[in-house]
Amino acid sequence: MPPNISIPVGVVFSQPAPELTAWYQQDKVRKKPGVLPKQRPPKPAPHAQYPTKQPRARRLLEAFQAHHPDIRVHGIAAEALSGTVSCVDEASALCGGGPVLSPIRSHQHLRVGQRAPHVADSCATHPGPPHTLRIRGGEERVARVGSARLDVCAHKTKRCIVAITYAAEETSRSLIASDLRWRTLDMVQGHALRWLVEVCMQDWKAHEGGSLLPKQPGEEGARHRVILSLLVDHRLCGHPDQQHQLQNNLPAYTVGSLRAHVHVACLVEVIDDLVSSDHPQEQRTRFTKALHEVFALGRSTKPMLQRQLGRLESTPSLQYRAHEVMRNVPILST
């Protein structure tokens, strides 16, 4: 990541297999009455047409290394699903041995002497001393940070286990690092940078191609939304106010604030045209008509007015048939 800006360099979409989705739904229903795992249908085998997130992430790293071989990777901040031994080792090897920082599941077993406690139990026993952490290079927060180099049973190797407990939280968060040479606080602050991915996703979903607009389904529709989002990002980078920030090495403005600024500028420009026009009344009428065409009123579907509900009552000619049917019904007695 450059020191001035963060840039998304790759996007991949994950779609679960239909049979796997159906299995999860059925398995959830069978769990409620207490059906044992042995009595439930087994999990479907992986489908080559629907790869999981781990192989897709590996392909992203491979593509990045192929297109940018000269970039040095200081570290990889991953999510919890990427904390498996295969993902950690493969990601580190693809990026020249760089450390992988990832959350670890609380029920994972650690090897401590002759014992194999859960990660959650070990972190609760050794919460660590309080430290001041700088979150994503900005805000400072106080948290208890403890760490130890321990064997992770599922990984069959030694990892650095870090427990983080913020002041407002009762339970700790657990991280693992593949490189044992990093300092504990550097691991914590390095993994906090992963949240920049969520910031990009928030911009895409709230203010760009993935906003509250009609969406195209499937992977092709998702690609269209990402392309539209990147185009919006590229266009807003050329905004005069944004250019001023970037050229003077200042923090860039957010996408949402730039969009609002553009909307206000357009409104002010329309008002200026109305005021300076030789025929302001005619201009105002045209502008008002155009606004009403864009923001037309929609009819509510809640009232039942002007709806054809049909004839909701009994038919007299069918009363005799009803009596005949009832007379032929046998009466059961005990």
Tens of pLDDT along the chain (334 residues) come to 445 567 778 888 888 888 888 998 988 888 888 888 888 888 888 888 888 888 888 888 888 888 888 888 888 888 876 667 888 888 888 887 888 888 888 888 888 888 888 888 888 888 888 888 887 777 788 889 988 888 888 888 888 989 898 888 888 888 888 888 888 888 888 888 888 888 878 887 777 776 666 666 777 888 888 888 888 888 888 889 988 888 888 888 888 888 889 889 888 888 888 888 888 888 888 888 888 888 887 777 777 777 777 777 877 777 766 666 566 655 444 4
Please state, in angstroms and as integers, the Cα–Cα distance from residue 270 to each residue in 113, 235, 256, 280, 287, following that order. Answer: 75, 22, 22, 11, 9
Helices 195-207 and 218-237: crossing angle in degrees, nearest 10, is 90
What global pTM score does this model have? Answer: 0.67
